[in-house]
A and B are shown apart, each in its own frame.
Chain A
Amino acid sequence: MHMRDRAVAADLVFEAKDDVLGRLKQTLARRRRRRGSLQGVLYVLPAALLTAAFLAYPVFETVRLAFYDWNGIDPSQVYVGWANFSELFNEDPYFWQAVKNTVLWGLVTVPLELILGLSLAIMLDRKIRFRAGFRAIFFLPAVMSPVVIAIAWNTIYSPTSGIANSVSGFLGFGSHIGWLGDPRLALWSAALASIWRYAGLIMVFYLAGLQTIPASLYEAARVDGASEWKQIRQITLPLLKPMTVLLILLGTIGAVREFDMIWILTGGGPAHRSDLLSVQVFTNAFQTGRVGYASAIATIMLFATIIAAALELAYLARVQRSIR
């Protein structure tokens, strides 16, 4: 935007030398810029006010309340310093369980979504029959609501009549698996539902990325006798790298955001074994009435997201520079 302005201004200056219309344009532009400073603010104001009231103010409140003891109802909020944080770090095993689960959730779901999404994109980038239909089927979960998804997967995972057990019985792994009831399995069962939910979305982004790769590169590779697999490895993957980094960034944010689906599917159970940090914020704030404690967890989530996003954005910038 900056560059644009300077270019336009330079253009105007140049034209104005010998051209009356140019001079008129220049004064108009200058006047508009002066008047514009107020006008710009007016146009932005509604969005800025809404963002300030419903997003920024709650963020500051969360960070402030992290240092208070408050049940969310009483008028009195008691300042406790770092007590909430020290309780989290030193006395709350469930917190560490949720940290571990949230990190694992991101580390497992994001790469698997990317691999599945990229495979689908590469398969559906060819000219094949029913291409649009296939794409729609894979993308459909991304528009379904978390409530619908959670209830559907809940019945799939039913220990008595679920499809998951029919399939695993058919494959010889036994048909009495407690997909959501077994503490070792619950998180991973939910993760599978999440991968199913987002793979199509990733596919759509990769399909858009594939359109930007010139077909001539593949033709040249074919002339050189490169196998299909080699073409994917040496042309497709490197050129999709910026997109991959961007999707990892979006995936990381998505993993921290995850709440609705796992809340309805497992409620964080059994015995907190599928708790994500977001689930603990919710239970502390709205079920056990520890708003200050919940805010401490939320504050940690906030800063963890900022750090992760900053690192990934810096990496994205480097990748984009190296490609050009």
Chain B
Amino acid sequence: MNEAFRLTQRGILYVALILLAGAFLVPLVLIIATAVSPENGSVATTLVPRGLTFDNFNTVLHQANFGRLALNSVVATAASTAAVVLIASLAAFGLVEYPFPGSRLVLLFLLAGIMLAPAVVIAPLYQLVISLHLLNNYLGLIGPYTAFGLPVSILLFRNAFAAVPRELGEAATVDGASSFKIYWRVYMPISRPSIATVVILQVLLAWNDYLISLLVMTKSSMQTVQLAYTTYAGQFYNEYGKQFAVLTLVMLPVIVVFVAFQRQFIRGLTGGAVKG
């Protein structure tokens, strides 16, 4: 193939990628550009900043109960993430290391939730939260978040643990290690990449949740950060600058976590799919 043809081909590839990337970035740029622009009436969204100001962020951070909502989200996210990592890895360890009669059925039961649409269970789940007196209680979020996160997490841990050579556990047993020690000192440290993937998936699930927090947190001071924008959105008016400042703050932690752990996250996420 001649050189000119290859160069043209490469040029087309770059142009296509740059155009697509530009189109993909539109919503993100729109949010950030509007958030840093000075507020000027209600028709105010923009792709090009009309200036550079942090007034909107200042207002949002000081005026409303944004700090409180952020705290609520941090608590629910951190607690459910810790719970999912621990509970899912323990279950996977039990199933891989000590299979018992019917353990395959139990695995199936634990994984079936992957297919479950939240809408299918949401009404009884809401009733359950009410009857447990968990409305406006952090546990009302942590319980459902943990349960919804378990199926995928158990799958990821099970695949990771099944790849751990059995001899490692056996050697530790000969050395007199208890089974919990084998879990904690052998299986968990080896599976760090899977732990990272589970953590990120669970942080995304909990931090980005809308439906459960909308139903469970009826008091405005208990709502999560995803509902913070409603302060600046009304039927007949929109304070876009402040609203988008809220959205920027809501996105920021997730994007930072994603950029920091991108490689590990993507490898962990797709690992099981490639093995088939």
Cβ 8 A contact of B17, one of A39, A48, A53, A134: A134
Interface residues on A, range: 35 or more
Produce 1/0 per residue, B243-262, CB < 8 A to A: 11001001100110011001
A302 touches B120 (CB 8 A): yes
- A59 and B87 alpha carbons, distance in the complex (Å): 21
B144 touches A208 (CB 8 A): no
Tell me, yes or no, whether A145 is within 8 Å of chain B by CB: yes
Cβ 8 A contact of B226, one of A39, A47, A147, A209: A147
Q: Which residues of B contact A306 (CB under 8 A)?
A: 115
Tell me, yes or no, whether A72 is within 8 Å of chain B by CB: yes
Among residues 36 to 71 in chain A, which have CB atoms less than 8 Å away from a CB atom of chain B?
Answer: 36-44, 46-48, 50-51, 53-59, 61-62, 65
Q: Which residues of A contact B160 (CB under 8 A)?
A: none
B226 touches A36 (CB 8 A): no
Among residues 154 to 181 in chain B, which have CB atoms less than 8 Å away from a CB atom of chain A?
Answer: 154, 162, 166, 170, 173-174, 179
Tell me, yes or no, whether A5 is within 8 Å of chain B by CB: yes
Q: Which residues of B contact A46 (CB under 8 A)?
A: 87, 90-91
Stretch at the interface among A169-177, A178-186, A257-265: A257-265
B24 touches A141 (CB 8 A): yes
- A195 and B174 alpha carbons, distance in the complex (Å): 54
Q: Which residues of B contact A285 (CB under 8 A)?
A: 122-123, 126
Q: Which residues of B contact A243 (CB under 8 A)?
A: 273-274
B123 touches A291 (CB 8 A): yes
Cβ 8 A contact of B259, one of A29, A136, A286, A298: A136
Task: Say what secondary structure dominates the interface of chain A.
Answer: helix
Tell me, yes or no, whether A88 is within 8 Å of chain B by CB: no
- A4 and B167 alpha carbons, distance in the complex (Å): 12
Produce 1/0 per residue, A156-179, CB < 8 A to B: 101011010000000000000000
Cβ 8 A contact of A305, one of B91, B115, B123, B207: B115
Chain B residue at smallest Cβ distance from A126 = B13
Produce 1/0 per residue, B172-210, CB < 8 A to A: 011000010001000000000000000000001001101
B147 touches A148 (CB 8 A): no
Q: Which residues of A contact B97 (CB under 8 A)?
A: 36, 40
- A108 and B250 alpha carbons, distance in the complex (Å): 30
Tell me, yes or no, whether A16 is within 8 Å of chain B by CB: no
Residues of B within 8 A of A (CB): 10, 13-14, 16-17, 20-21, 24-28, 30-31, 43, 45, 47, 87-88, 90-91, 93-101, 103-104, 106, 109-110, 113-128, 143-144, 146-148, 150-151, 154, 162, 166, 170, 173-174, 179, 183, 204, 207-208, 210-211, 215, 226-227, 229, 233, 240, 243-244, 247, 250-251, 254-255, 258-259, 262, 266-267, 269-271, 273-274, 276
- 16 of the cross-chain contacts (CB-CB < 8 Å) are A1-B96, A25-B170, A36-B99, A41-B94, A47-B87, A47-B90, A47-B150, A53-B147, A58-B120, A128-B13, A134-B17, A140-B28, A144-B251, A145-B251, A246-B273, A305-B116
Q: A42-B94, A286-B126 are in contact. List 13 more A-B contacts (CB 8 A).
A: A4-B162, A44-B106, A50-B146, A54-B143, A55-B121, A56-B109, A145-B210, A147-B229, A151-B229, A152-B31, A204-B269, A243-B273, A320-B276
